[in-house]
C-alpha cells in the first residue's frame, strides 16, 4: 500500500470527518470554543465627502444622521482555492502545493467566490480534493514526514495523534471540539485497522482533515448580544480579518490573541489589524485585490488592428507591468487619491518612447514622473486606455461606462433597447463622424440621451488619447479634439476642460474615495451583495477614513474595524 492510494482511506476520510464537521458547522458556535461577545466598530463621525457631488446616503435617520444598515446575515463562507492553498501551506509548507495550480496570479478575480461558487459542488470538489491530495502526498518522503510532524522513525501512535491534533487545530483555525477530536482519532484508528501503516494513516488523516467542512469553510454565526445582534466570536473574527487582509489563515499571534480574549475589545482588534496590515503578505494580497478590481488581466485579451497600431503587440507586456507595479507601489504611498492624481509611474525604454518622454536610465522599469499637464494616475496609463477602446479606434462609451461603474460607483447602466440595435450599429460604423460627433448625436437622440448623459462625458475627456493610449491633439480627419464637458451630477456637475480636471474634481469631492471604500467593504465581506456607495455602512467607514491620513492602509483599517464586519443578524 506504500505506493498506491488506499480506497478505504479515501472512503473513511470522506465520511468520518466530513459528517463530523458538518454537525459542528450546522450546529452553530460550539459551547467549548471560548467564544467572546466583543467586537470592534468604526467611529461614525460627521466628516463626509466634502464639496459638490458627494453621494446622497440611504437609510437616513433622525436629524439627518445616517444609521448603520442592517448587518449581513449569519452565514458560512467557503474559502477560495487560493485561501485553502494558503492555509495548507501555512501548516505544511510550500511543498504541500507542489503540482497544484491554485490560481494564476494575473487571473485573480476581485470577488473570487462569485466565479468559483460559494458551495462545494461537483465543479468545486475535484480541485478541492486535489489540494487535499497534494497535502497528503507531500508527506510521503520519510525525511519530510519527520521534519513536518516532528515524529522520528519509527513513528509512535502518541506522536502521530499529537501531530494530527495540531494539524487539525491549525486547519480549523480554532481549538477542536470534543466531538471533532474523537472523530479525528477514530479516523486514524480506522485507517490503521484497514491495514495502513502509522505514517500512511497520518497522511490520509491529514487529507481527511483538509477536506473537512471546518477547513473548507469559516463561520460567521456570532454570539448574541444585548442589542439582539450576533457579534462574531474571537476565532471567527480572527479568520475574517486574516483572510480579508492577507488572504491566508490567522497566524499564531492572531490565534493567541483570540484565545487570550484580546479581540473582545475595539483596542485589541485595532492592534491586531495594524499588525496584519504591516505584514508583507498584506501588501501582496491587497495589491492583487486592487489589480483584479481594475481588471488589468483584460489587457492580455485586448486586440488592436495591426495595420493601424503596428507597435501595440510589442508594448502589451510593458503596459501591463507599468500598471501592476504602479498599483503595488502607490497603494502604500501617499493617499488613496494618488491612484488617480499622481504623476508618478514606472516605465521602461519601450514605454518612454511610446509616451514621448526621456527614459531616466537604469535597467528595465524605473520610477518616472510625468511633466505637469501630460498624464496622471490610472486613467491616463496606456493599459487602461487600450483596454477600453475598440480594435481600430477609441470608445467614448466603453471608457465612460468603466469610469462610471468602477471609478465612481455610479448606477448600473441598462443595455440599450433591442429596437435600437440597428440605429446604434449604424452610428458605430459611421466613419464620417468622429467620437465627439457620435457623442453629440447620442446626446440629442431619444432614447439614447437618457442614459448616455450619465457617462459619455467621462469618455470624452479622454479623447486626446488614441486607442492604445498615445497622445494626440487631432482626430484622424484633422479636426481638433475638444475634451470640454459638463460632468454628470454624480461627479459634481462642474464644467471641466480635460481629464486632469475630472480627476481633480472626483478626488476632491470624495466621490472616488467613497467608491473605493464601497469596493473594499465588498471584498472584505467576500460577497458583492447589495452594497452600494450610498449605503450607511459605507458612510460610516468613509466618515472614519476622512479623519485619518487617508492612506490606503487607513482605508483597510477602517473597513476592518467597521461594525459591518463585526456583527451579524439572526441565529444560524
What integer pLDDT is reported at residue 58 of this predicted model? 53
Give which of 240, 251, 298, 272 is closest to 110, Cα–Cα: 298
Residues contacting 4, CB < 8 A, separation 6+: none
Q: In the Cβ-directed half-sphere of 47, how many Cα atoms lie within 13 Å?
A: 10
Q: Contacts from 185-189 at CB under 8 Å and sequence distance 24+? A: 185/161, 186/16, 187/12, 187/13, 187/16, 187/17, 188/160, 188/161, 188/164
Helix (H) or strand (E) segment spanning residue 344:
strand 344-347
Please give the Cα distance from 459 to 295 (Å, whole number). Answer: 18
Give which of 42, 559, 554, 547 is closest to 335, Cα–Cα: 554
Distances 345 to 101, 102, 348, 389 between C-alpha atoms, Å: 32, 31, 10, 22
User: In 50-84, which positions are buried (b, 16+ CB within 10 angstroms) versus exposed (e)?
Assistant: eeebbbebeeeeeeeebebbebbebbbbbbbbbbb
DSSP assignment string, 19-47: HHHHHHHHT-S-TTS------------S-
User: In 159-187, which positions are buried (b, 16+ CB within 10 angstroms) versus exposed (e)?
Assistant: bbbebbbebbbbbbbbbbbeebbebbeeb
What residue spans of 260-413 are helical by DSSP H? 266-277, 280-293, 312-330, 338-341, 349-355, 382-387, 396-402
Please give the Cα distance from 109 to 107 (Å, whole number). Answer: 6
Asked if 46 and 238 touch (Cβ cutoff 8 Å), the reply is: no
pLDDT tens, N- to C-terminus, the chain (572 residues)? 344 444 444 544 544 555 455 555 654 433 333 333 333 333 322 223 333 344 555 543 333 466 666 788 899 999 999 999 999 999 999 999 988 876 553 467 788 887 888 888 888 899 899 999 999 999 999 999 999 999 999 999 999 999 999 999 999 999 999 999 999 999 999 999 999 999 999 999 999 999 999 999 999 999 999 888 999 999 999 999 999 999 999 999 999 999 999 999 999 999 999 999 999 999 999 999 999 999 999 999 999 999 999 999 999 999 999 999 999 999 999 999 999 999 999 999 999 999 999 999 999 999 999 999 889 999 999 999 999 999 999 999 999 999 999 999 998 888 888 888 888 888 888 888 999 999 999 988 888 888 899 999 999 999 999 999 999 999 988 999 999 999 999 999 999 999 999 999 999 999 999 999 999 999 999 865 678 888 899 999 999 999 999 999 999 999 999 999 999 987 55
What integer pLDDT is reported at residue 108 of this predicted model? 72
Q: Quick check: pTM over 0.85? A: yes
Look at the chain and count its residues: 572
CA angle 200, 206, 209 (to 5 degrees): 140
Give which of 345, 379, 384 is closest to 365, Cα–Cα: 345
Please give the Cα distance from 38 to 40 (Å, whole number). Answer: 7
Strand pairing of 230-231 and 223-224? antiparallel
What integer pLDDT is reported at residue 408 of this predicted model? 96
Burial class (CB in 10 A: 0-12, 13-18, 19+), 359: middle
Amino acid at each position: 500500500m506504500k505506493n498506491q492510494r488506499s480506497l478505504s482511506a479515501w472512503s473513511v476520510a470522506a465520511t468520518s470527518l466530513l459528517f463530523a464537521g458538518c454537525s459542528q458547522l450546522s450546529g452553530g458556535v460550539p459551547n467549548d470554543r471560548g467564544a467572546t461577545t466583543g467586537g470592534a466598530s468604526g467611529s461614525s463621525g460627521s466628516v463626509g465627502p466634502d464639496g459638490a457631488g458627494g453621494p446622497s446616503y440611504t437609510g437616513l435617520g433622525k436629524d439627518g444622521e445616517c444609521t448603520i444598515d442592517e448587518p449581513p446575515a449569519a452565514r458560512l463562507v467557503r474559502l477560495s482555492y487560493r485561501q485553502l492553498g494558503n492555509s495548507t501551506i501555512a501548516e505544511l509548507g510550500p511543498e504541500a502545493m507542489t503540482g497544484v495550480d491554485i490560481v494564476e496570479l494575473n487571473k485573480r478575480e476581485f470577488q473570487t467566490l462569485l466565479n468559483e461558487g460559494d458551495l462545494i459542488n461537483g465543479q468545486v470538489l475535484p480541485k478541492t480534493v486535489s489540494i487535499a491530495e497534494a497535502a497528503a502526498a507531500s508527506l510521503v518522503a520519510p525525511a519530510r514526514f519527520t521534519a513536518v510532524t516532528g515524529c522520528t522513525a519509527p513513528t509512535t501512535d502518541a506522536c502521530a495523534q499529537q501531530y494530527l491534533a495540531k494539524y487539525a487545530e491549525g486547519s480549523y483555525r480554532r481549538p477542536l471540539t470534543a466531538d471533532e477530536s474523537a472523530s479525528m482519532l477514530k479516523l486514524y484508528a480506522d485507517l490503521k485497522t484497514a491495514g495502513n501503516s502509522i505514517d500512511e494513516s497520518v497522511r490520509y488523516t491529514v487529507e481527511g482533515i483538509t477536506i473537512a467542512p471546518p477547513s473548507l469553510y469559516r463561520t460567521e454565526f456570532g454570539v448574541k448580544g444585548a442589542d439582539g445582534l450576533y457579534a462574531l466570536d474571537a476565532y471567527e473574527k480572527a479568520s475574517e480579518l486574516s483572510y480579508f487582509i492577507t488572504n491566508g489563515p490567522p497566524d499564531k499571534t492572531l490565534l493567541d490573541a483570540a484565545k487570550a480574549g484580546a479581540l473582545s475589545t475595539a483596542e485589541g482588534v485595532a492592534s491586531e489589524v495594524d499588525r496584519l496590515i504591516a505584514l508583507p503578505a498584506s501588501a501582496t494580497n491587497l495589491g492583487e485585490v486592487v489589480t483584479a478590481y481594475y481588471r488589468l488581466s483584460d489587457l492580455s485579451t485586448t486586440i488592436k488592428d495591426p495595420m493601424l497600431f503596428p507597435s501595440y503587440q510589442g508594448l502589451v507586456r510593458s503596459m501591463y507591468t507599468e500598471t501592476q507595479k504602479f498599483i503595488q507601489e502607490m497603494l502604500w504611498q501617499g493617499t488613496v487619491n494618488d491612484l488617480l492624481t499622481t504623476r508618478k509611474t514606472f516605465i521602461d525604454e519601450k514605454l518612454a518612447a511610446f509616451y514621448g518622454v526621456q527614459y531616466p536610465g537604469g535597467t528595465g522599469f524605473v520610477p518616472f514622473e510625468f511633466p505637469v499637464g501630460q498624464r496622471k494616475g490610472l486613467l491616463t496609463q496606456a493599459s487602461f486606455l487600450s483596454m477600453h477602446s475598440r480594435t481600430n479606434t477609441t470608445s467614448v462609451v466603453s471608457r465612460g461606462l468603466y469610469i462610471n461603474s468602477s471609478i465612481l460607483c455610479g448606477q448600473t447602466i441598462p443595455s440599450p433597447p433591442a429596437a435600437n440595435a440597428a440605429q446604434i450599429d449604424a452610428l458605430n460604423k459611421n466613419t464620417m463622424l468622429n467620437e465627439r460627433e457620435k457623442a453629440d448625436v447620442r446626446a440629442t437622440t431619444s432614447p439614447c440621451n437618457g442614459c448616455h448623459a450619465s457617462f459619455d462625458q467621462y469618455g470624452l475627456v479622454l479623447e486626446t488619447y488614441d486607442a492604445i493610449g498615445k497622445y494626440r491633439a487631432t482626430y484622424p480627419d484633422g479636426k481638433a479634439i475638444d475634451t470640454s464637458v459638463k460632468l454628470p451630477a454624480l461627479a459634481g456637475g462642474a464644467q471641466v476642460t480635460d481629464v486632469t480636471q475630472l480627476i481633480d474634481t472626483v478626488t476632491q469631492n470624495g466621490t472616488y474615495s467613497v467608491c473605493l471604500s464601497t469596493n473594499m467593504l465588498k471584498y472584505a465581506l467576500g460577497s458583492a451583495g447589495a452594497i452600494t456607495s450610498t449605503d450607511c455602512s459605507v458612510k460610516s467607514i468613509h466618515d472614519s477614513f476622512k479623519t485619518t491620513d487617508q492612506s490606503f492602509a487607513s482605508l483597510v483599517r477602517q473597513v476592518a474595524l467597521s461594525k459591518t464586519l463585526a456583527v451579524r443578524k439572526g441565529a444560524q
